Amino acid sequence: VTGVPLSAISVTVVNGSTTPVTIPVGKVAVAFASGLTPSSYTLNLLYSGSVIASGSASDVSVVIPAGSYSINGTIDGVPLSALPVSVSAGQVASVTIPVGKIAVGFAGGYVPSSYTLNLTYNGMTVASGSASAVSIVVPSGTYSVSGVISGVPVSAISVTVATGQIASVTIPVGKVAVTFAGGLIPSSYSLALQYSGKTIASGSASDVSIVVPAGTYTLVGNVSGVPISPISLSVSAGTQASATVPVSQLSITAYTANGVQLSNAQIAVTYSGKQVAAGTGSLSVIVPGGVSYTISVSAYGVTNTTTVTPAVGTVMSVRAVVPISGYIIFGAFVPLSTLILVAVIILVVVIIIVVLLMEYSNWRRRRLAGGLFGPGAK
């Protein structure tokens, strides 16, 4: 019966009567603990070491002769220890496969954008991939969950799966949130998030605002070509670690010594001898705060420099003064020296004209006098 030899049954037949013969069989009924059915498994029903049925739970839930049997198999690649089954004639022998479920989640609900998890049993990888890929039904026992999140390794987490129970595993992650002081967002910058000296994310503030395993990280980078001091971050499971990039804004306008704005003045901002920004007339640039910058302004062959240290998170207005004076005439700036020169020239011209007019007047007077009283006059 079902591949199992049936022992001989002695039957005495009496003449003229019917002798009933009952075959001593029972049924094996296989189910999984708490209704937790694995997505991938194979069960084997054995008799005296020989497989008499194999496949799903229904495939091994068969009618067989009374006797002793065993069930083994594999569930999601994990071997199932043999379960003894005693089948009595006319009875149903219920067999519960001792399985439980692993449920994997992330602390604080922070789900990484890039990660791989591994579920292992006795050093063998049982499942790999996303949290749902390793949240599977397995035989009861001890397992471990490890993996890599955003390029950072996750230490192995031991999990004990009990029969009919769900074993929850929380991956200890947190989130890095990067912002700029005072809400001042630079037009040119680059940031990098590092773990143990290795860059795991780089680019904009949003590019480095990622979910990572709990641990210590470092934020580095540059703003407008000026390096920022490394910022250490301690990320705890289920929490958000905020990092504020210490920036300031320089708003520079060129003026003359007498307070006239110079629209054509050349402005340059340097840090440690390297030019950070340049413009004409006025300039606005976001730079790391709390460090010193040199501002130079040039116009009409005159240059002036000054050193400033903007406070973090503030907008610093700077009047860059060129040591010249002048005025706006007909929409154009005219230096005072030029005005004086023009005034002198005009004065000289006026004097010359006056002298010429006086000489001309004297000449006419002499001529008229010569015509009235000279030779031939009546």
Q: Give the CATH superfamily of 25-97.
A: Immunoglobulins (2.60.40.10)
pTM of the model: 0.78
Per-residue pLDDT at 15: 80
d(CA 49, CA 59): 18
d(CA 196, CA 153): 11
Cα-only R_g, the chain: 48
Per-residue pLDDT at 346: 85
d(CA 334, CA 244): 46
d(CA 112, CA 116): 10
In this chain, the answer to whether the domains covering 100-171 and 174-245 adopt an identical fold is: yes
d(CA 219, CA 194): 6
Residue whose structure tokens are 């949003």: 206
Question: How buried is 77 (Cβ within 10 angstroms: 0-12 exposed, 13-18 middle, 19+ buried)?
Answer: middle
Can you give the residue ranges of every domain in the chain?
Answer: 25-97, 100-171, 174-245, 252-329
Give, for all 378 residues of the chain, the pLDDT tens digit: 667 777 777 777 788 788 787 888 999 999 999 999 999 999 999 999 999 999 999 999 999 999 999 999 999 989 999 999 999 999 999 999 999 999 999 999 999 999 999 999 999 999 999 999 999 999 999 999 999 999 999 999 999 999 999 999 999 999 999 999 999 999 999 999 999 999 999 999 999 999 999 999 999 999 999 999 999 999 999 999 999 999 999 999 999 888 888 889 999 999 999 999 999 999 999 999 999 999 999 998 899 999 999 999 999 999 999 887 656 665 666 666 676 777 788 888 888 988 888 888 888 888 787 665 555 554
d(CA 370, CA 378): 13
**Count of residues for the chain?**
378
Per-residue pLDDT at 366: 80
Topology given in CATH for the domain delimited by 100-171 = Immunoglobulin-like (2.60.40)
d(CA 206, CA 89): 70
- What is the signed CA dihedral for 26, 30, 35, 40, rounded to 10 degrees? -160
The amino acid at residue 223 is: V
With residues binned 3-state (H G I as helix, E B as strand, rest as coil), the percentages for the chain, rounded to 5, are 10, 55, 35
Structurally, at CATH architecture level, domain 174-245 sits in Sandwich (2.60)
Per-residue pLDDT at 339: 60
Structurally, at CATH architecture level, domain 252-329 sits in Sandwich (2.60)
